Structures are given as C-alpha cells and as structure tokens.
C-alpha cells in the first residue's frame, strides 16, 4: 500500500524531471504505482535492473519499464519503456519523485515535544521530530531530518541532508574503563561524534563519542538499523553497513566499503577502501587489500552439523594423522 495519498504521474512528467528517453509509449500515459516486474499491472511503472530478469520483462503487464540501452529491443517488443544508463538508480529517483508527490515532506523546524538545549544549533531548514533530544553544543546541519525519538549528544555535529531514524543515539559514552584491583574505573569520554553530509542512520543505531578524539562518520555513509559504532571509529565516505553490525572501538574503515548484516569488526583494525565483508563475518585482523572477505559456519541440517562440529574440535589432530599417513606411505 503506497502512502495514504494517491499519487499519479504522467510518463512525460517523469522523463522531464529525471531525463532518459521515453520510447514506444505516450507522454500522457498515467502511472499510479511503482511495482516489481512480476506484479506490475497496467497502471504501473516498473524497472529491469539486470538482464537476467529479461524473461520477467516479456511477461510484465506494466505500463512502462525502465531499461538499460542493451535491453531496448526486447523492451520495445513488449511496449513502452524509458531507456537510461542505470535503470536501478533511475528507479530510485522515481521513488523520490513519488515521495515528493505525496506531499509528505518532513515539517521543518523543531517539533514542540522535542527537547533542544539552547546551546545547540539547529539549521532552520532542518527537521527535529517529536520527542528528540539535542544536547548543548550539538549542531544539526541544513536539510537534515531527525525522525522521532533521536538523541544527539553534547557537542556532536551532524552535517547536511542527513536522515537519522527513530531511536538513534549519537554521542553516548564510549565503552572505556581501566581495570584496577578487580574493579573498573570509568574513562570519561571527552571526544564527540562528527557526522558528514548525506549520511543516513537506521532506527535504534548507536554511535559512541570518542574517548579523547572524535568518532568520525564521513560523507555519504549509510548505516542500517541496530548498528553499534564504538568510540573513535572512523568510517570512510560512501561505506554502507547492514543491520546488527558491530564495530568496536578505534577501528578505521575505508571508503566504499560494505559490511553485511550481523558482522563484527574488532577494535583497532584498519580496513582499506573497497573492502566488502560478508554477513555475520568476524573481522579479526586488518584487511589491506580490496576484496570480499567471509567467515561463517555453513548452515546444515542439525544432525549433520553436530557430527561436523564435533569433528571440527579434533581438526588439528586430524591434520597430524594425515601427515603421519603421508610419512608412512612414503616410507613404505
């Protein structure tokens, strides 16, 4: 169900706003929904993000399909299409056009239920939602949207055009304690958090303030829900992390990295630019070369897992037995 308010656009409106070439169809054809190829009906616009879905293209009942130049012929054989270099990015921009049409832009300014310290700076074009807390010395940049129940702690800086979803906590204390005589002495966290422009942060995600210096999230970073970023971490431009990721203190992550859901990055490590971590993988050492890295136990039927897991606990000795066999065979 898309929105409360009905949206409709003409194909001509779409290409006027976003570019691309409308072929095999009429500018005044109306579309009332964006839909995947297989479920699109005659009032819908759809998209073909990858040639491997070409079969779905042929069968689709969509009014218009967004396609790459290489798919122009099969698309035209079916009906109207918009031809563009990056159909998936074009689709993303269509969703943005849709959202604008809904007339549901966030209300500018500070919601009356929010608690904003008088020593905080909120840009007039920013939106601070219901029941948010913005502490003294904090800075909220132009066009940035804090959804409901977001906390931005003292002296933390959020750049322009960011989106912080409900429940986000920026600038809680990092987890720092010195052991003494079996107890923990608190290390006051004297740094803050600095977040660049165009950063999106998912619901209930936490980014801790630094111990002595700042925790830094660079421009264009995207974090999903329930992500934990420890103190003094640095995340490079346009990196993205899926839900439930944990990054321990003082890790430095490069630009254009991706981290899959539930992965853990241990502290004080460095990840180069363009490193990609698979879901649920534990990063225990620095990764200096771009590439895809994985470490997860393969799922199996429980009975087979039990057998293999039990054997795994003897793996080192199995290796010794193989060595012994090799030597025995050589000697024979």
Q: Which of residues 132-161 bind a second copy (CB under 8 A)?
A: 133, 135-137, 147-149, 151, 153-155
Taking a C-beta distance cutoff of 8 angstroms, is the pair 80, 121 a contact? no
Taking a C-beta distance cutoff of 8 angstroms, is the pair 156, 138 a contact? yes
Which residues inside 85-124 make contact with a second copy, applying CB under 8 A? Answer: 86, 88-89, 91-93, 95-96, 98-99, 104, 111, 113, 115, 119
Taking a C-beta distance cutoff of 8 angstroms, is the pair 267, 230 a contact? yes
Which residues inside 11-40 make contact with a second copy, applying CB under 8 A? Answer: 33-36, 39
Sheet holding 145-146, edge to edge: 109-110, 127-128, 145-146, 163-164, 200-201, 222-223, 240-241, 258-259, 275-277
Minimum distance between the CB of residue 198 and a second copy, rounded to whole angstroms? 8
Q: Which stretch binds a second copy (CB under 8 A): 8-16, 24-32, 51-59, 216-224?
A: 216-224
Q: Distances in Å between the alpha carbon of 34 and those of 65, 116, 163?
A: 10, 38, 23
Helix axis angle, 302-312 to 315-331, nearest 10°: 60
By CB under 8 A, tell whether 186 contacts a second copy: yes
Closer residue to a second copy (CB): 8 or 86: 86
Of 233, 136, 268, 160, the closest CA to residue 241 belongs to 233
Which residues inside 228-257 make contact with a second copy, applying CB under 8 A? Answer: 228, 230, 238, 240, 242-244, 246, 248, 256
Q: Which stretch binds a second copy (CB under 8 A): 21-29, 64-72, 73-81, 318-326?
A: 318-326
By CB under 8 A, tell whether 127 contacts a second copy: no
Dist. CA 32–CA 79, nearest whole Å = 17
The 3-class secondary structure across 206-217, one letter per residue, is EEECCCCCCEEE
Taking a C-beta distance cutoff of 8 angstroms, is the pair 214, 231 a contact? no
Taking CB under 8 A as the criterion, the residue among 67, 122, 129, 215 binding a second copy is: 129
By CB under 8 A, tell whether 179 contacts a second copy: yes
- Which helix (H) or strand (E) segment is 159 a member of? none
Closer residue to a second copy (CB): 77 or 282: 282
By CB under 8 A, tell whether 288 contacts a second copy: no
- Which helix (H) or strand (E) segment is 57 a member of? helix 54-59
Closer residue to a second copy (CB): 81 or 260: 260
By CB under 8 A, tell whether 202 contacts a second copy: yes
Which residues inside 40-79 make contact with a second copy, applying CB under 8 A? Answer: none
Closer residue to a second copy (CB): 29 or 176: 176
* 139 counts as catalytic: no
Minimum distance between the CB of residue 217 and a second copy, rounded to whole angstroms? 14
Give catalytic residues, as residue numbers.
231
């Amino acid at each position: 169900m898309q929105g409360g308010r009905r949206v409709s656009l003409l194909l001509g409106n779409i290409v006027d706003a976003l570019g691309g070439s409308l072929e095999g169809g009429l500018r005044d054809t109306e579309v009332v929904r964006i839909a995947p190829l297989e479920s699109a009906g005659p009032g819908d616009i759809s998209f073909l993000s990858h040639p491997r879905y070409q079969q779905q293209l042929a069968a689709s009942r969509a009014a218009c399909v967004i396609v790459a130049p290489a798919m122009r012929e099969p698309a035209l054989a079916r009906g109207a299409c918009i031809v563009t270099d990056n159909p998936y990015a074009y689709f993303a921009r269509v969703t943005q056009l849709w959202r604008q049409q809904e007339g549901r832009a966030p209300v500018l300014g500070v919601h009356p239920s929010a608690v904003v310290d008088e020593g905080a700076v909120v840009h007039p074009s920013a939106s601070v939602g219901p029941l948010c807390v913005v502490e003294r010395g904090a800075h909220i940049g132009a066009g940035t949207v804090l959804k409901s129940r977001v906390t931005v702690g003292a002296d933390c800086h959020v750049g322009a055009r960011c989106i912080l979803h409900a429940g986000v906590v920026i600038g809680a204390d990092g987890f720092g304690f010195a052991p003494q005589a079996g107890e923990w002495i608190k290390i006051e966290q004297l740094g803050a958090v600095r977040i660049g422009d165009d950063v999106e942060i998912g619901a209930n995600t936490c980014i801790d303030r630094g111990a002595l210096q700042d925790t830094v999230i660079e421009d264009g970073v995207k974090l999903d829900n329930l992500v934990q970023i420890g103190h003094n971490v640095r995340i490079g431009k346009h990196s993205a992390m899926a839900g439930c990721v944990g990054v321990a203190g003082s890790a430095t992550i490069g630009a254009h990295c991706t981290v899959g859901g539930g992965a853990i990055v241990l502290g004080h490590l460095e990840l180069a630019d363009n490193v990609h971590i698979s879901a649920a993988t534990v990063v225990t050492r620095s990764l200096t070369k771009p590439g895809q890295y994985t470490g997860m136990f393969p799922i199996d039927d429980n009975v087979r897992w039990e057998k293999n897991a039990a054997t795994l606990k003897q793996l080192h000795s199995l290796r010794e037995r193989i060595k012994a066999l090799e030597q025995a065979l050589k000697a024979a």
